[in-house]
Structure 1
Amino acid sequence: MAVHHPATIVPTKLELLQAWVPHQPWLGGADVSTVTRLGSYRFDDPDGEVGMETHLLSTDDGRVLQVPLTYRGAPRVGAEGSLITTMTHTTLGNRWIYDGCHDPVYVTALVRAILTGGRHADLYAATDGGLVLEPATTHVRGSGSWSSADVPALTAPVVSHHGTTTTIHAGVRLTLPRVLVATTPAADASLSGTWPGQETPVVLATVDGSS
């Protein structure tokens, strides 16, 4: 379960994405002079410490980008190279925003969702009357059927980029298309999703057992 706290945040998520995304090596020539949000999906941190949200962005030339972020209440030691920015949140205080592909909490959650057939986290709004479920517009689900006990322990993620694809080596190998293509064939171990305007599932990530 993810909780959305009404707040003013500076910079906004869209502002930080608009500033950071144009400088990334995985764009493949996409026109990112402006980007807009199509949707996003979240995973749960079992420890309740790290927020995880993958943003789906539309570019000026009609492409769809996938950008995982993690939100932390304190700096992650040794992760200065994957820090995107800091954010002021009027409810949660200062937040440190990281490239999720480098964050072991995100990588673990993604592998677990793929291998166990997991799905996006439900998002609740915090109100004076309690938590209220927000309608989901982006839906993702893993293809696997493993039990949680069978998911392997992971190593520290090592990230590389090849064209418009990001590869994460963490004891298993994760592959994330950063420019999403609706015709990408589904793999045996994959995460697929839909969002507004894309009702046919699209492959968002795949995992195999070799790193």
Structure 2
Amino acid sequence: MENMKELAESLHLNHYLRPDDIPDLNLYMDQVIQLFERQFDNTTRYPDDKVLTKTMINNYAKGKLFFPVENKKYTKEHLLLISMIYQMKGALSISDVKTALNQLNYKVTDEGFDLQQFYEQYLQLLDDNVNKFSEAIQDQQQEVSQTLDKAEGPDRAYLEQLLLIAVFTAMSNYYRRAAEKLVDDLATDMSNLKEGR
């Protein structure tokens, strides 16, 4: 079985699109795709997996997950939002992502909200969480190993790995369900605002 510290490192969890990675000029869709492919090339499960496609970007635009593009060019703010969508869509439905980002899009376009500063705060939290994740999976491996202390034989490695898979998927589901509940709360809050409650 793989060492959990090495596993965490192999996942390239600290590969994000950082504001400094984005040129100071607006980009066409093909340039956006190239930037994301270059930035996230080590994060896909299989070598042929695409990080971002024209269809994905068009679906995000049609679904109004980010504010409208002008002259077929994407601003730095668009790219920051697309990066957040990329991260969130792994756990949430596109509808939930839209609900989560709806007010942020409004704040950026209508209130002059500093999305870059907010995004940098988000990246700081992600950096902190990568370290916590690495420690947590190492702790989980130790707990699983202790749980199976008395199990011996050729199946022990398999059983240990299976327990880790089961525990990791359960934890993933806990976080996803918590995020969905927060999205539902956002939707309720927005609905109450529209109705003047």
After TM superposition, the score normalised by the length of structure 2 is 0.25
Q: Which has the larger radius of gyration?
A: 2
Higher relative contact order (CA 8 A, sep 6+): 2
Which structure shows the higher strand fraction? Answer: 1
Which structure shows the higher helix fraction? Answer: 2
After TM superposition, the score normalised by the length of structure 1 is 0.24
